[in-house]
Structure 1
Amino acid sequence: MNVNIDRVLALLSTVTDPHTFKKLSLSATSCEVIERDGQLEISLKLPYTAYDIKGELRQRIAQALQSDGLTLGRLHLQPHITSHAVQEGQRPLPNVRNIIAVASGKGGVGKSTTSVNLALALHMQGARVGLLDADIYGPSVPIMLGLSGKPKALEGNMMEPLVGHGLQANSIGFIIEENAPAIWRGPMVTQALTQLLTQTLWNNLDYLIIDMPPGTGDIALTLAQKVPVTAAVIVTTPQDLALADAKRGLAMFQKVNIPVLGIVENMSVHICSQCGHEEAIFGQHGGRDMAAEYNVPWLGALPLAMSIRSQTDSGNPTVIAAPDSAEARLYQEIATRVSANISVLPPDTSGQRPKVVPRPL
């Protein structure tokens, strides 16, 4: 059988991607087709970390090919991540294609646990990922990644990020002494965040996940106004108090024109470690209802499970410690939705515009 690439591309262009909800847009450079024993082996470069857990994309491609008498054999999905637009007046950081802020309105909702597992899931799906701990007063990334030591000092006041489980990471927790409090006022805190972000020598990142502190204070405001953020993810629990604060965080991003990729509901149900019984101790469907109210995507719900807590506390988060578990699968699905939702945002065009530098008087 002689493979006609144009014929295959025409068939694939009829397929609606179940992750982006758009037709596949491919070319001869992003689609490789090989015929083996009467079947087609196809490699696709997609603009997100296509982790086709449920096999929906494969099924749709197979059906499209079958309509023309072709049989799908192996399907290889490769991420090809590009930069997307940031706030007006900002440009993406060098070597960082997209910054994702993970935020919550209040503390204690599992935002940091979600951040680190999201970052690791994106990394496992083939992306180059960094993690910045922006919680200056309560840094937790060093413990969650099982890292210690200080970043290596480089020329030009730059720092080399530490690497844990494949993630490039930096945190104030690596710099100050262990258990030492950061007794700083607002300006010092925002300066520390800016230095951590801009003076870390990030190495060719597709995504930089920023684990934000709770609330909408100085750090959140600095991030929203001065850091080139591509988009944000909101983490909440189902209870009314957490939802009220999460809505304030979401409104902040909307006011500064930072797209919200969606809402993650953490601790949606408690799973008993003895019998497996599930109980919605914090209420039901609060995050999903909030997503519908504000017309933002629903990314998924995560349980209140002892395994997630113990694995993260030990420096081996769930997607690393138990990659085949139901909880890890949920993180992987959320990561794919986050990446896919970014892929449909407007592309970055700042490189096509000359940078205006005022002339001295």
Structure 2
Amino acid sequence: MALLPAFFRPTRMTRRASRPADPPAAGDEAVLDAPDERLSPALVAAGRGEFGAASALLATTRAAAEWEDHDRYARRLAAFARSRSEWFEAWRAAAPDDPDVALVAAQLAVDRAWPSPARAELLREVSPLITAAARADDRDPVPWRIALDHARGSRAGHRYFEELWEAAVRRAPHHYGCHVAALRYLGTSWHGSHRECFDFADLAAQDAPADSLVQALPARAALSYLTDGCGPEVPRERLEAAADRAIALSGRFPAATPWPAEIRNKLVYVLARLERWEDARTQLRLIGPYATSFPWDRFSDDPLGRFLRLREALLTTAPGTTVTELLAAPARPRNEHRGRAPAPDH
């Protein structure tokens, strides 16, 4: 595939991360897509029509180059603005030149266009907003992640996508959101090309620091393969290695906290499909009460209910028919941006 070589950039860094506490019991309660302690006050304030906390949060993460958090918070704030936009319109009127206003506006426009049958045409009209966000702060890779998603949705050509990709990795070589966007583009443009997707994901993970979220990219490729049912078979050992990488990454983060749950929920699905029951149970305990819509909304319009039923089946009974049914891939994969605001999917 001509697209793949341009994705591989020799950039290596090393950092150390703290070890997690002992996993707590899963308990009976669970919440869906819970915000973390930094995002929650911003959402509460936005619910009152106030934008100051959201503005401060994005400004802080941008100034500190906390690009993973910056991306995650921009997504969640745009999703909130999709259903309750008064606070965002007030922010845009008060600070029209704010780079974070431009960023949220671009994400919001993409989110609104995505569910439409005329997605490609509507997304082309969004391009100026993404360009404005990219120009507002040249360091920020998040507008380029939005541009990569936009290119996939508007069915842009491979050469144009490679140009966007090179611009994104110049700003943040190991930004997980950009890597997920590239992986999705590969899977969409060459449906069933799971081996090529694994090649990209594996090389990206090998090049990334041990505590980078990119270490979870092969498991993301495994999830896509296991729910697709299309293309040539991927060797079992490759799926196992992807799961092992994600397990090692999960072990670096605190237990029962919201944002690592986004990685762990996807990992539980992969481990259960591989019938690695004890490893799946360990991840469920690390998840604690924090369920995420993705991947469970691929199988049900009630993702929290699907998560709870799977958790109960894995933690309280021997795996059997019930687990198999709960893990069954849909006959036709659900649209990742259905009619409601998209949940975070990193």
Max radius of gyration: which structure? 1
TM-score, normalised by the number of residues in structure 1? 0.32
TM-score, normalised by the number of residues in structure 2? 0.33
- Answer 1 or 2: which has greater helix percent: 2
- Answer 1 or 2: which has greater strand percent: 1
